[in-house]
């Protein structure tokens, strides 16, 4: 299928989320405008460093825009950011009736340090529910480090979830290595823990995960706007 028209439509609403300290970029992820102009959705782990400032950037503008946290949902690893730009349209939400295992999906973000919007396609391979009742979407598609916070969409570019590249099924050995402190082991000046953690972050088995839209917390002003419309 040709997605060129869909990508052209959504690209201005999907941005890079940077964590910046002393003019240095410490980390980055993806995010997209949702609910209303000036509100960006991303994953909470993308912005969890408390000593850094948050900036967002869009593919048609090199300017960094400062952003502030509106809401954090640590349980579902989601966050809402507020930024000052009312020129970009929010992405549309998909109808729940279309969401079922096996449907084709696309997701667009900024994986592996790229600064150009990159779109992948796949299928919604499974709808998972854990012991606590929390639902997660499993994606048969190439999700990479940096995709966290980007939109999971139906073929027509409507949002069904938020991609989470950090949620990966690791072995016990990889989990133990991921928890080691940097600086513990080095060889010829190379920090081996940092090297192993970089490898772990970029392990890609062709399976990705996303949090359904139903878990995205609504900002209070959006809830109020909806009530006003219903009057």
Catalytic residue among 45, 55, 76, 154: 45
51 is annotated as an active-site residue: no
Catalytic residue among 13, 55, 138, 148: 148
Residue with tokens 């995205």: 216
From 192, 83, 209, select the one nearest 143 (Cα to Cα).
Answer: 209
Structure tokens at 231: 């009057």
Are 88 and 175 within 8 A, CB to CB? no
188 is annotated as an active-site residue: no
Catalytic residue among 77, 120, 138, 154: 77
77 is annotated as an active-site residue: yes
Distance, in Å, from the CA atom of 66 to the CA atom of 55, rounded to the nearest integer, reads: 4
**Where in the sequence numbering do the catalytic residues fall?**
45, 77, 148
């Amino acid at each position: 299928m040709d997605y060129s028209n869909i990508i052209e439509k959504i690209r201005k609403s999907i941005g890079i989320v940077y964590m910046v300290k002393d003019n240095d970029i410490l980390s980055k992820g993806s995010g997209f405008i949702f609910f209303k102009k000036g509100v960006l959705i991303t994953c909470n782990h993308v912005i969890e460093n408390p000593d850094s400032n948050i900036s967002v950037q869009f593919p048609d503008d090199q300017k960094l825009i400062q952003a502030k946290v509106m809401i954090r949902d640590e349980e579902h690893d989601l966050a809402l950011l507020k930024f000052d730009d009312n020129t970009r349209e929010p992405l549309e939400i998909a109808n729940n009736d279309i969401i079922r295992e096996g449907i084709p999906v696309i997701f667009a973000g900024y994986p592996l340090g790229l600064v150009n919007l990159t779109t992948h396609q796949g299928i919604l391979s499974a709808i998972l529910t854990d012991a606590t009742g929390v639902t997660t979407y499993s994606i048969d598609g190439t999700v990479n480090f940096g995709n966290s916070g980007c939109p999971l969409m139906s073929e027509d570019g409507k949002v069904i979830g938020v991609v989470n590249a950090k949620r990966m099924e690791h072995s016990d050995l990889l989990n133990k290595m991921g928890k080691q402190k940097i600086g513990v082991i080095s060889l010829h000046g190379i920090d081996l823990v940092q090297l192993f953690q970089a490898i772990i972050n970029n392990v890609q088995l062709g399976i990705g995960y996303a949090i359904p839209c139903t878990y995205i917390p609504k900002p209070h002003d959006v809830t109020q706007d909806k009530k006003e419309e219903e009057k």
